[in-house]
Amino acid sequence: MIASREIRITLPTWVGGFLSGWPEIFADDPTAMGLAVALARENVRQGGGPFGAVLLETASGRLAGVGINQVVASHCSLAHAELVAIGSAQQALGGYDLSQIVPGGGTLVSSAEPCAMCLGAIPWAGIGRLVCGARDQDARAAGFDEGDKPADWALAYARRGIAVTRDCLRAPAAAVLADYADSGGVIYGPRPG
């Protein structure tokens, strides 16, 4: 039985129509973050979690992938927005190291600072830039556990050649989290208190 098992996380059908209103090339970080935050907000409306992510080809700004939090719907704790964007883009492009297959490597634009799992995943994916919207404390204020991160993960990233930009559209990004908490959304995670 176990032999035939798999992990399968599919972007919901609404994403297609949603993306048709956005460009294929993103000229700057705030525009890309606008999409990440809009995906997070629409995902909540569709019954998902309040996180969105956008993956760009760094050199061109071309959209390479998107992700939303699908933990509850996909029955899979790995289905954070960042990992969905990374894994689906890698498989569509046919390679596990974006730094080798995408011009200039990959830029990940996340509506919130990544949790410990996603922070650990980003260097393995060949991502050279990370752009964050809401801060860690905004996610925690909404009730989400961000996990045990290295004390200065941005410095550790710098040592690996991964640039970090924070607070891009922080206010609207944080508002998605606060609105979700105010509306009584499920705070999925281990042993919810």
- Residue burial 43-80, b: 16+ Cβ < 10 Å; e: rest: bbeeebbbbbbbbbbbeebebbbbbbbbbebbeeeebb
Single-letter code of the amino acid located at 106: G
Phi-psi region of 155 (alpha: psi -120 to 50; beta: other; left: phi over 0): alpha
Residue 57 a catalytic site member: no
Of residues 39 through 68, those in contact with a copy of itself by CB under 8 A are: 63, 65-66
Tell me if 146 sits within 8 A of 116, measured CB to CB. yes
Which residues within the stretch 88-107 sit at the binding site for a copy of itself (CB under 8 A)? 88-97, 99
Can you point out the beta strands (E) in 38-150? 52-57, 63-68, 106-112, 127-134
Active-site residue among 24, 57, 82, 113?
82
Single out the residue of 31, 74, 167, 178 in contact with a copy of itself (rule: CB under 8 A): 74
- The correct pick among 30, 31, 60, 117 for binding a copy of itself (CB under 8 A) is 117
> Given the complex with a copy of itself, which of 30 and 95 has the nearer CB atom?
95
Contact 25, 60 (CB under 8 A): yes
Nearer to a copy of itself, 17 or 182 (CB): 17
Give the residues lining the site for a copy of itself (CB under 8 A).
1-11, 13, 15-17, 19, 63, 65-66, 71-72, 74-79, 83-84, 86-97, 99, 115-121, 123-126, 145, 147-151, 153, 156-157, 160-161, 188-191
Which sequence positions are flagged as catalytic? Answer: 82
